[in-house]
Structure 1
Amino acid sequence: MTLLRDEDLSTAFDHAARSYDALVAANPGYHAQLRRSVRRLGLPGYGAGLRLLDLGCGTGASTAALRAVLPAAHITAVDASAGMLRRAAAKPWASGVTFVRAPAERLADAGVTGPFDAVFAAYLLRNVADPDGVLTAARDLLAAGGRLGVHEYTLSGRRADRTVWTLVCRGLLRPVASVLGDGALYRHLWHSVTRFDTADRFAARIRAAGFDHVRTLPLPGWQTGIAHTFVARRPEAAR
């Protein structure tokens, strides 16, 4: 199967937006694990005075995780899918959350400018055509010492983890999505994970984009060995 890209992928997400929240709710621990990844950023206090970029916010699950852990921060949430973003923006939010429609590769064109204290990207990097370019752009948007958090499906490289991922997709996600008319998107989901970096390779990709203090942290539950949190920092300015 050829992976969906750019406009086709954005259109598929637009169509899936109406049922996306219901599908992810069936994933045990989905929202708790997003909050766990946000906490792993290690940002101080409740985020007072901090600017955060939620890159690829979808219907707002990652935005809600940022808001829950860092309620005093200002969050700019960005997504390329109009349908996903419309769902996210329609939810009740306290002040300090701004939604912007833009591809991750063209943030400046939509007026998204740094410096940010942290960039958080959940389930995004394997879906972009140029992950290295997006990582470099994220680095450039961060203040010196700013933090990157990536919450992503990146297989460990063990055959058992690939088998579990395949069973979950073929036995649960794809049949339900097909009934809802979103089969192509969830076929893409399976392929996008199996064809993307292993966790070690993705960590190396982050380092190559100019980050330091890179750490790879597994997520618990059935996703152990399948999904990871990656945390890193933009190097401090030369003294």
Structure 2
Amino acid sequence: MSKTVPFGFEDIAPHEKTERVGAVFRSVARRYDIMNDVMSFGQHRLWKDLFVGRVLPRAGESILDLAGGTGDIAFRMARSGAEVVVSDINPDMLAVGRERAARRGLDHLRWVEANAETLTPFADSAFDAVTIAFGIRNVTDIPAALRAIHRVLKFGGRFYCLEFSQISLPLVADIYRGYSRRVVPGAGALIARDRASYKYLVESIERFPDQDAFSAMIRDAGFGQVRAQPLLGGLVVIHSGWKS
């Protein structure tokens, strides 16, 4: 791991990123889903539906959803009858998810506070699938997290990741960059009363590796059959790989 890692447009020490990302999500936890609607014009709901459709959870499967604190992905997968464990490093996000699950009567989900870089609460070969949606770019040591995911998957288990990426069309990319840099932090200040956190979230998207580079990282962690499905010209990508 390098001596510095990106935090938005800054390069900082790894331990500092972990602390500062934690502060971001403590700040935005209660209004996170509202801001997702604002940032994506509600499209994040469609992306998540498509994502879960790709995962294809089945009754009786054991699935780990990482960085899943507010429950958006877990709630969708639970409809299949799969046994879903929601893991997040941030207890404030998990608290929001538990409250949302209780309102929906979803009392069979498990909620576990864990660091994605180690996944120490979980045994080797414990899950049929591991998912993470819009969370991998906030991990301090992404290669370590990918190796940990590989460890906890069963032989033949599948990994699915939904994440922002780089738009391939230059004009569209310029328009989106202008929107995200100017509008999203302002909306964060107005709705979530936190401009700085949403400025970081926008910058973190721009610093995240493009789909080819991230696919290479997944392969380096030991996964086979690695694929990337870009949506909206690459704004969002569904990455997948299998443990073989």
1:103 to 96, 103, 115: 115
Superposed displacement of residue 12, structure 1: 1.4
Aligned partner of 2:70 in structure 1 is 59
Look up the equivalent residue of 1:126 and give its one-letter code. R
Pair 1:37 & 2:54 matched: no
SS in 1 for 2:55: coil
Question: Which residue of structure 1 aligns with residue 139 of structure 2?
Answer: 128
In the other structure, the counterpart of 2:204 is 192
More deviation, 58-67/157-166? 157-166
* Farther off after superposition, 59-68 or 224-233: 59-68
> Paired residue for 1:82?
91
Length, aligned pairs only: 225
Deviation at residue 41 of structure 1 after TM alignment: 2.4
Q: Which residue of 1 aligns with 2:10?
A: 2
- Residue deviations 1:109-164 (CA, integer Å, cap 9, x gap): xx233410000011111111111110010011000000000000111454335323
The unaligned stretches of length 5 or more in structure 2 are 1-8
Structure 1 unaligned blocks of 5 or more: none
Q: Cα RMSD (Å) of the superposition?
A: 1.8
Question: Residue 48 of structure 1 aligns to a residue in which SS?
Answer: coil
Residue in structure 2 matched with residue 212 of structure 1 by the alignment: 224
TM-score, with structure 2 as normaliser: 0.85
Give the corresponding residue for 1:232: 241
Task: Provide the secondary structure at the position in 1 that maps to 2:81.
Answer: coil
**What does the per-residue CA deviation read over 1:168-224, in whole Å, with 9 as the maximum and x for residues that have no partner?**
3134321011233322221111221111111111111111111111111122xxx43
Structure 2 residue identity aligned to 1:201: A
Kept after mapping to 1: 8 A contact 2:184/2:202: no
Structure 1 SS opposite 2:10: coil
Q: TM-score, normalised by structure 1?
A: 0.87
Between the aligned partners of 1:205 and 1:164, the Cα distance in structure 2 is 29
Q: What is the CA distance between 1:93 and its match in structure 2?
A: 4.2
Q: Do 2:129 and 2:157's aligned partners in 1 also have CA atoms closer than 8 Å? A: yes
What letter matches 1:210 in structure 2? G
